[in-house]
Each structure stands twice: as C-alpha cells, then as structure tokens.
Amino acid sequence: MAKRFTAQLLVSRLAAYTTDQSLRQLFSPFGQITEARLIRDQLTQRPKGFGFVTFKSEDDAQKALQALNGKIVNGRLIFVETAKKVEAPTTNTKSNQA
C-alpha cells in the first residue's frame, strides 16, 4: 500500500526564539498555509522547539518538506516530516463487572 501524503508537516529542532509568525514566513514561499503553530509548554508558555505547518495543498506541503528538511535555519538544523494523524484516546465507560 502506498503511503498517503498529508498537507500537515511536523517541524522539529526549531530555535527557542521562533514564533508562530516566523514559522509561517519560513514556509509561505511554498504555498498557501492554513495554519502554523508552535507547541508550547503549558506552565511557562515557552515554545518546545517544534510545531506544525498545514498547507492548503498536499503538493505545496511536499515541496516545502523537500526544500526545508535538513536545512539550517536560525543556526539550527531543522527536520521536516509529514505529521501523523493521532486519534484521541477513547475511554471505556463500561465497567468490567461480572
């Protein structure tokens, strides 16, 4: 089965001073972006060094991945890969009573 490409990319090893806006600017030459967001620590609200960029088109996301994966940005070697869909954990509401 062929791996299906997604329009959402995971970007890791970002500099500590990267902002949502600078992340969007970095990827905007490759196509229309619907979302660019950094993941932040819940307590300190400081970026954790990775984020997600979602393109309107899968082709644009593929171009960005090929162009930026393994590049040095703001003095850091960044990695770009396709984001994996993660399903929300389900809770079993039935008890295990006999």
**What pLDDT digit, counting tens, does each position of 45-86 carry?**
999 999 999 999 999 999 999 999 999 999 999 999 999 876
**Could you tell me the CA-to-CA distances from 56 to 1, 77, 89 in Å, in that order?**
24, 26, 27
CA 10 – CA 17 distance, rounded (Å): 18
Average predicted confidence (pLDDT) for the chain: 87
Stated pTM of the model: 0.80
The predicted pLDDT at position 2 comes to 45
Higher pLDDT, 29 or 2: 29
**Could you tell me the CA-to-CA distances from 33 to 25, 27, 60, 86, 88 in Å, in that order?**
10, 8, 9, 21, 24
* Short-list 52, 44, 61, 56, CA closest to 23: 52
